[in-house]
Amino acid sequence: MDKKKKEPEREKRIDGELRKASYALHYEIWMFNEMVKSLSSQPPEPGNPQYNALVESFVQHTRNLIEFFYPPNKVHLDTLIAPDFFLDRDQWGKDISEWLDDVRIRANKLLAHLTYDRVLKYKDDKGWEYFEITEHLNSIFAEFLEKVPQDRLGDKLKNYKVLTLKTVELPNILASTGNARLPGITVSRDLFQ
């Protein structure tokens, strides 16, 4: 007879633990934005290992931030998630959109795990909408910073300036065109005006 184990309850974290954990969150959002800047400042070169590494880093940080802001029902007990930072975890309950959930699933299938879907289902689906993802995750991060009790954040996040699309420099390849489509990137110059 197979009895289901009762899952342990997620422990409430004390302020000092959360302040320390916020440094990992700072690193995650910083690296996410640095990858966007790097990807937007050079012409894409699919097949180039350095370019691929930038894309993979962007996707991994995207995946981690999605899991932080929109934790799945079953999440490892040691995984850092946004609701942990609130006195009442229900203060941060976000429903993930279908579009963003697809980004999460693709990140899992194409990068985080070696899957059959990588070569069968997603074999021609290598593009990532960098700026749309960036705009969404940075806006949800700004909302998080507005709502979270400040005594639960470390110094690096207390006065953190959230990146906006206007602060990403346009690559030379896009500067002369009104619109451009790069692998995984849809850019309109008016986003940067």
Per-residue pLDDT at 84: 95
Per-residue pLDDT at 138: 94
The residues spanned by each domain of the chain are 15-87+94-192
What's the pLDDT band for 192 if we cut at 50, 70, 90? very low
Reported as a single tens digit per residue, the pLDDT across 100-120 is 999 998 888 888 777 777 777
Segment 32-39 shows an average pLDDT of 89
Predicted TM-score (pTM) of the model is 0.81
What's the pLDDT band for 14 if we cut at 50, 70, 90? very high
Q: Over pLDDT 70: what percentage of the chain?
A: 79
More confidently predicted of 47 and 176 = 47
pLDDT at 125 over 70: no
| Integer-rounded Cα radius of gyration of the chain | 18
Number of alpha carbons in the 13 Å side-chain half-sphere of residue 184: 24
Reported as a single tens digit per residue, the pLDDT across 68-99 is 999 998 888 889 999 999 999 889 988 999 99
More confidently predicted of 22 and 47 = 22
3-state SS, one letter per residue, for 13-63: CCHHHHHHHHHHHHHHHHHHHHHHHHHHCCCCCCCCHHHHHHHHHHHHHHH
CA-CA distance, 18 to 185, in Å (whole number)? 35
